[in-house]
Chains A and B, each alone.
Chain A
């Protein structure tokens, strides 16, 4: 494998963001080199359950809600036509999603939240009672008292999406190199000069850091936190849980579930009790975590009967202190662009590609990227909790 000596734009990271950006830029005629240390979709892009959720979380933060809604709505509109555009079936379904309530207290909370969201202009959100919830998704255990239902959410095949972007990007001339680790982004006198890899240097005036959970390793100034999650999948079963749903069990951890187009049921989440330091980049699953996932599975799908869990895995997504990603130029360094900090990548990937391409080529955006300015988390040295899992982090973020 021989790397080019120089190129117009270097994208680091072959996940859904990197590939989406590569696609847009290559389509616009730019010379792109994408460098991925492992394989396409090796990080969170290849480990998530494929949920396309416009709202991520249960916060009452007006700005965060409005920002997320605006961009994910635009994203979904692109997704609707993306299969044709990429020439690939992405298994995108717009079936809706459910956020379950297990206790009366939770149901009351969701009731208030739905009211709040409706006031902000969200016409697609609804509160369903126990009967309506069970009607929507018969597979959900009878213990669910009700749910928050969003009609325009859905599921997608994250592999097909990421590979779809990568494949098209290549067709438009992007050079994608896998198995190549970037050791350093070369910056001199406040300007990007290129990158150093294990296989040599590449000169460039533009470098896009799209490595999500690994972003701070290359760009030490950015405050993005990695978070490890675990998932299990079952053997193929008939389409029963078509609606992806999230649930918070024991006031502790949030679980997402989806059913793939081929029929496997995925349950992901399980922020284990963080009694000791977790290596958030560790992709091995422990026996206790599999056991834990299986028991959560039986609680979520109690009425299903016997089904085999056939695989388990762990992956690392990324968080920021306000729950919104970092998309924008890095302050004070000419040519370094950040597109990282995603915990809800599927709902953002299409719009991110568009926004980044617009910025780099036109210098302006169809939608403002100010809410995602990396400056807000630049050299902030946020004091993250030393030991954390999903719950601790959620509390820390004030959700």
Chain B
């Protein structure tokens, strides 16, 4: 089969580490991203990461992003930016569009690392300007340096909701409250404590009922939920806000996998319909791999490990490393992933991953 040795779609954390890992073994890599610059969600992450030292603990997402990028350039990875992959044909051929020109690119191996997109939450008034994803607000403040609002309601207290709340405070906005539909906070306590200390109340068993405003949001109606998750009458409160951020989860951007004909499994712990893959990140289609949020919504640190795993597998598949080397590297990466997937959230995800892999391992 002809074509590039390895094409990676998506230059976020998973794509970057996949590129680096395979390039350092000698693979010729083409790394594609639809944005002006690579890094995916890393550049929005201005907070310090957790984990051990080797997991970049204490470093900010964007620092990691720049470093990976430099290393990829040094390793000779060919990076194509402002290029959208819009189709996959025959399981090995990609349709690209760049600068309004369509191209086709054949590949011996493909790693899809296209990430995930924010889930919407529908309620009356949700389509008004002034209601946006929490990630969208994060993009506006950390990358574009523009505040999308001054008095903000955050819906959802998972890690994204808590972290973005803190970052909105850092950007100079007031976050009037964080709402959480469940009876307890969704994200890590350390994040929750930080924003509580900063004066932001986290209202559990609470949800947004309506967004009001003429041409944009200027008021939110919230109310309390009972143990069945139903609205409790007469508990409505009005909040004067100009921005509502929705932090209600992410779903993998799996269109290319669907188009290629990959098998999927539905796992809510990982964000929805996940392309089935083995312990080397290979999907049900030979030569097609997935890594990062596409393979299950987790974190940047796990994304980077999965990218490495896919990179190792491809390097072996092309004959650049021996089976032994591959297995050795795989063990190190799996140990790392195990370490990262600790705690109640991590364990849930590891369990879901095991289920996924068990179904497909060769």
Contact = CB atoms under 8 A, between A and B. Distances in A.
B90 A286 contact: yes
B319 interface: no
> Interface on chain A toward B: helix, strand, loop, or mixed SS?
helix
Nearest to A291: B102
Interface in A283-308: 284, 286-287, 290-291
Contacts of B95: 287, 290
Nearest to A286: B89
Contacts of A286: 89-90
A284 B95 CA distance: 14
Interface string B61-99: 000000000000000000000000001011001010000
Interface string B85-129: 001011001010000001010000000000000000000000000
A291 B261 CA distance: 21
A284 B90 CA distance: 9
Nearest to A287: B89
A286 B95 CA distance: 10
Nearest to A312: B87
A287 B89 CA distance: 7
Nearest to B261: A284
Assign chain B's interface to a size class: under 10
B340 to A, nearest CB: 38
Q: Give the residue among B89, B90, B93, B102 with the most A Cβ atoms within 10 A.
A: B89
Contacts of A284: 89, 261
A287 B92 CA distance: 12
Nearest to B93: A287
Contacts of B261: 284
Nearest to B95: A287
Interface in B24-79: none
Contacts of B89: 284, 286-287
A290 B102 CA distance: 11
Contacts of A287: 87, 89, 93, 95, 104
Interface in A252-311: 284, 286-287, 290-291
Nearest to A294: B102
Nearest to B102: A291
B91 to A, nearest CB: 10
A291 B90 CA distance: 15
A290 B97 CA distance: 13
Interface string A121-146: 00000000000000000000000000
A286 B90 CA distance: 8
B284 to A, nearest CB: 16
A291 B87 CA distance: 12
Contacts of B87: 287, 290
A287 B261 CA distance: 16
A286 B88 CA distance: 9
Contacts of A291: 102
Interface string B249-268: 00000000000010000000
A286 B93 CA distance: 10
A358 to B, nearest CB: 43
A64 to B, nearest CB: 39
Contacts of A290: 87, 95
A2 B93 CA distance: 43
A362 B90 CA distance: 51
A116 B89 CA distance: 46
A198 B90 CA distance: 30
A291 B104 CA distance: 11
A197 to B, nearest CB: 24
A289 to B, nearest CB: 9
A253 to B, nearest CB: 21
Nearest to A289: B89
Nearest to B90: A286
Contacts of B93: 287
A227 to B, nearest CB: 22
Contacts of B90: 286
A272 to B, nearest CB: 14
A177 B174 CA distance: 54
A358 B299 CA distance: 63
B2 to A, nearest CB: 15
Closest 6 CB pairs of A and B: A287-B89, A287-B95, A287-B104, A286-B89, A287-B93, A287-B87
Interface of A: 284, 286-287, 290-291
Given A284-B261, A287-B87, A290-B95, 9 more contacts: A284-B89, A286-B89, A286-B90, A287-B89, A287-B93, A287-B95, A287-B104, A290-B87, A291-B102
9 contacts: A284-B89, A284-B261, A286-B90, A287-B87, A287-B89, A287-B93, A287-B95, A287-B104, A291-B102
